[in-house]
Amino acid sequence: MSYIDRTKVAFGDASGSTKVILTGAVIGFLLPAVLSPYFAFLAAQYYLFALLALSLGLLWGYVGILSFGQAAFFGLGAYIMAWSFQYMFVPGINPAYVALVLAPLVNGAIAGVLGLFLFYSDVKDVYFVIITLALSVILEQLAVSVTSIFGGFNGIYLPRMAVSIPGVFNYQLSNDRLFYYVTLLALVGGYLVCRRIVRSDFGETLLAIKENEARTKSLGYNTARYKTLVFMVAGALAGVAGALYATLAQFVSPPVTGFVLSTEVVIWVAVGGRGLLLGAITGGILINAASTVLSSLVADRYILILGLIFIAVVVAFRKGVVGYVADRYDWGEKL
């Protein structure tokens, strides 16, 4: 097939979903015009949670690794941003920029070490869940008890970040609508990165690993290396999300790393659609938005409703919201 024909076919495959994605992005860019600053502030948080969910979506949907510890990376990213403002690691440079570079690097490195430690052994996949769960518990406990570094239960306060070009301008993003765009860009950027990975040859191998790791291994692929690399990317993404979250909320405290958030991420992705990147993003935005709305109506009972929905999804509606829509409209699986 010629290159043009191949492009046409590919475009034809994706056009339904691409239309939806583009529409969603356009709505996203236009929303601040109609949202009050407070709701822009809330939406910005949702986008960052969606980015966190995306990190799990990549890991779980395309490699089959269920991590109950993505919040640990998110939280670590948040603390790195807080420390950057506190300690000015590189004087003269915007601390937020420093953190936005450090967070993915540090998280990626830690994920790499963990991956090397865990994937290159016979640790069963399901044990990985318990281990990652323990990791978020560990980090939360450290954050609570090592007060000199983490600020403990009191947390650490930090200002809203500024965008700057040294010597030219320095503009603090106190305006929530402006920060909304920062988070939207981060989400879109993260999605595009993941989509690129998923649609590449590397991504093909990942799917093969997810389907049957033993067979893929026997074909000569170093599956542990692939898993570790994706784990690093996921950790980095979650770290960026966390770093931005810290400067959005202007406050970091132990729950941002912990057990509860970790398990919530799994619910977002499962309900949104665990096999698809868009599923993870949708789950992240949808459930958090719904929680805010429902908690005003039925106080904390919404967690009960969420739990029941989650069980139903797990037992019967395994593909999640986006999964079913994608099936219905035949959008394929590289979403």
Partner 1 sequence: MTALTGCLGGGGGGSSGPVRVGVLSPLSGAWTVYGEAHRRGFELAMQEVNDNGGINGRDVEVIVEDTQTDPSTVTEKAQKVIRQDNVDVVAGTFSSASRNAAAPVVTQEDKVLLYPTFYEGQDQENFPGTCNDLLFMFGIVPSQQAAPWMDYMTSEHGSNFYMVGSDYVWPRFTNQRVKQSLEELGGNVVGEEYIPLGTSDFGSVLSRISNSDADIVFGTLTGTDTIAFAKQFYSRGLNEEFTYWTVDDEEFATQGKGPQAARGTYVSFDYFQTIDTDLNNQFVDKVKSQYGEDAGMDTVGAAMYNAGHMFANAANEVGSVNTDDIISGLEGQSFTGPQGEVTMREQDHQMVLPSYLVQVPDDWSDTNDFEGMFEIVDQKESVTPATANCDFPLGKGN
Partner 2 sequence: MIDFASIISQTLFATSILIVAALGLAIIFGMMGVINLAHGALITVGAYVAYAVTNAGLSIWAAFLVAPVVVALVGLVMERTVINRLYDRPVDTLLATWGFALVIQELIKVIFGTSAQSVPNPYSAPVEIMGANLPQYRIFLTALAAGLLVVTYVTFKYTDFGVKSRAVIQNDEMAGLLGTDVRSIYMWTFMIGAGLAGLAGAAVAPIVGADPRTGLGYLVQSFFVVIVGGTGQLLAGTLGGSGLIGGSAAALSFVSSQTFAQTVVFALAIVVIRLKPEGLFGGT
Binding site for partner 1 (CB under 8 A): 36-38, 41, 141, 144-145, 147, 152-155, 157, 249-251, 253-256, 296, 299-300
Token pair in block for residue 53: 């969910």
Q: Which of 258, 240, 291, 245 is nearest to 41 (CA)?
A: 245
Is the Cβ of residue 93 or residue 137 nearer to partner 2 in the bound state?
137
| Closest listed residue to residue 50, CA positions, set 181, 233, 237 | 237
- What residue type is assigned to position 331 of the chain? W
Beta bridge partners of 172: 162
Interface residue with partner 2, options 9, 308, 329, 333 (CB under 8 A): 308
Q: If contact means CB under 5 to 8 A according to the sort of partner, which of partner 2, partner 1, none does residue 310 touch?
A: partner 2
Site string for partner 2, 139-178 (x = CB under 8 A): --xx-xxx--------------------------------
Binding span for partner 2 by CB under 8 A among 2-10, 136-144, 158-166, 200-208: 136-144
C-beta separation of 191 from 25 below 8 A: no
In the complex with partner 1, which residue's Cβ is closer, 114 or 246?
246
CA–centroid distance for 329 within its chain: 26
| CB burial of residue 292 (10 Å; 0-12, 13-18, 19+) | middle
| Smallest separation, CB 244 to partner 1 (Å) | 15
- Residue among 11 and 153 whose Cβ is closer to partner 1: 153
Smaller CB distance to partner 2: residue 2 or 121?
121
| Residue 152 interacting entry, from partner 2, partner 1, none, C-beta within 5 to 8 Å by type | partner 1
Distance CA 325, CA 335 (A): 12
Q: Rounded to the nearest 5°, which phi and psi values hold at 252?
A: -130, 130
| Residue 224 interacting with partner 2 (CB under 8 A) | no
> Using the 8-state DSSP alphabet, how is residue 63 labeled?
T
Identify the CA nearest to 55 among candidates 238, 281, 253, 305: 238
- Backbone dihedral region for residue 155 (phi beyond 0: left; psi -120 to 50: alpha; all else: beta): left
Nearer residue to partner 1 within complex by CB, 253 or 282: 253
Q: Please, are residues 81 and 156 in contact by the beta-carbon 8 Å criterion?
A: no
Residues that bind partner 2 (rule: CB under 8 A) add up to a total of: 39
Q: Contact with partner 2 (CB under 8 A): which of 133, 198, 322, 326?
A: 133
Report in angstroms how near the CB of residue 39 gets to partner 1 at its nearest: 8
CA 23 to chain centre: 21
Residues that bind partner 2 (CB under 8 A): 66, 117-118, 121-127, 129-131, 133-135, 137-138, 141-142, 144-146, 259, 263, 266, 270, 300-301, 303-304, 306-308, 310-311, 314-315, 318
